[in-house]
Chain A
């Protein structure tokens, strides 16, 4: 099936099988391997990306469903500089170890930070509760998100 969509600001035309989910399409047909696949049934959150401005589980959206849509992956968010401060805070706080969950963790955190203000640590934990990290643990990740929120609020 032919689909046409915007991926990280570039118009893409492609032929996909209906059963191909969005992340397989991005990774295998477009070579965008920053979006990761963990469980592939919506539990781990490693495949989190933005579709039409909101975060989704990339493994729970078919590529054909994204036809006509606007997809933003970690590659796009990194290149645009939108989350450069958040990425720097992750490094400063040691908020990643193996890095497998990190792209999705950054995108989910940015989804919360976009609302503005400084969310409580409980609110940060709740917003990231669908993203599993199996090595660093969550304290440093919450630290990095909180630090970024405070810095953004201070520079307003």
Chain B
């Protein structure tokens, strides 16, 4: 459970029904379905700040039911088929923003060209949530405890966004700007994620959670390359260690500079400022981040 849900169930946000029972119901909102990306821009322009885009809804619906979010209108983009699916070109893999977690898990192209995503998505919630949740929804939501933002950092992905003013490409390291905040402008839509094909690469993934499918207490998505026993490239994307997914550049630099795993683990304190919450203190998270680094890097070195 992410920090923003902690204790939310005890907030006075529920409707009572006629029997006086307290339940978890969304406030009233309007609903409209967008038929295309351009249609979605027009609807966003018409409805302004009170509008919210609905993709898979697996983070938005809980927020609505708990009344942590109360938009005037939902613009449902989930039926824009052009935004769903995986395309492989000679140099990269392009994933439509509305590609669902279950699609990624079942995709032979993702297994072949971006296996880190397969590893990560298997840890995202449960089958009945992976069947609806989308990669674009997860990235645009920018939950600091979510797996996929950290994966895009590790993979150095490019995020394709489109707005009425045109299209632009945002590097994943520039996309996540804060707690549930991204570099998207209010009228822009994330349309695709592009990842370079890196045939000689190796990936690793691990997260610590109390129960399978829960949000991680700390997690690490890693991607890199080893030549003749030496790290030539390494990106360490941590999640659930603060307000946003974070690249541990100091620790990675130690390893690519020929340093030891112990030295890299020590360097993590320059990379991460983990938060405290009911699950773990900042110091515990910092410790667990070091544990995960040792596990994941060892796994990658033995696989390389």
Q: Which residues of A contact B (CB under 8 A)?
A: 1, 17-19, 21, 24, 37, 39-43, 45, 48, 54-57, 59-62, 64-65, 108, 111, 125-127, 129-131
Contact = CB atoms under 8 A, between A and B. Distances in A.
A41 B28 contact: no
Contacts of A55: 127-128, 131
Interface in B12-28: 23-28
A37 B128 CA distance: 15
Interface in B113-143: 125-129, 131-132
A42 B61 contact: yes
Chain B at the A interface: SS class:
loop
Given A19-B29, A54-B102, A55-B127, A130 B61 contact: no
A65 B78 contact: yes
A60 B137 CA distance: 14
A57 B128 contact: yes
A40 B78 CA distance: 21
Contacts of B185: none
A65 B62 CA distance: 15
A108 B128 contact: yes
Contacts of A56: 128, 131-132
A40 B65 CA distance: 7
27 contacts: A1-B31, A17-B28, A18-B74, A19-B64, A24-B25, A37-B23, A39-B24, A41-B24, A41-B62, A41-B65, A42-B58, A48-B128, A54-B131, A55-B127, A55-B131, A57-B132, A59-B65, A60-B57, A60-B58, A60-B61, A60-B132, A64-B31, A108-B128, A129-B211, A129-B212, A130-B127, A130-B128
B66 interface: yes
| Residues of B in contact with A, size category | 20 to 34
Interface in B27-82: 27-31, 54, 57-58, 61-62, 64-66, 74, 76, 78
B210 to A, nearest CB: 12
B131 A126 contact: no
B58 A111 contact: no
Contacts of A37: 23
Given A24-B25, A54-B102, A108-B127, 20 more contacts: A17-B28, A19-B26, A19-B28, A19-B64, A21-B65, A39-B9, A40-B65, A41-B9, A41-B24, A41-B61, A42-B61, A45-B126, A45-B128, A57-B129, A61-B61, A126-B212, A129-B213, A130-B126, A130-B213, A131-B126
B10 to A, nearest CB: 13
9 nearest A-B residue pairs (beta carbon): A130-B126, A18-B31, A40-B24, A41-B62, A129-B212, A60-B61, A54-B131, A55-B128, A19-B26
A64 B26 CA distance: 14
Contact of A62 (B24, B27, B61, B211): B61
Contacts of B1: 43
A60 B62 contact: yes
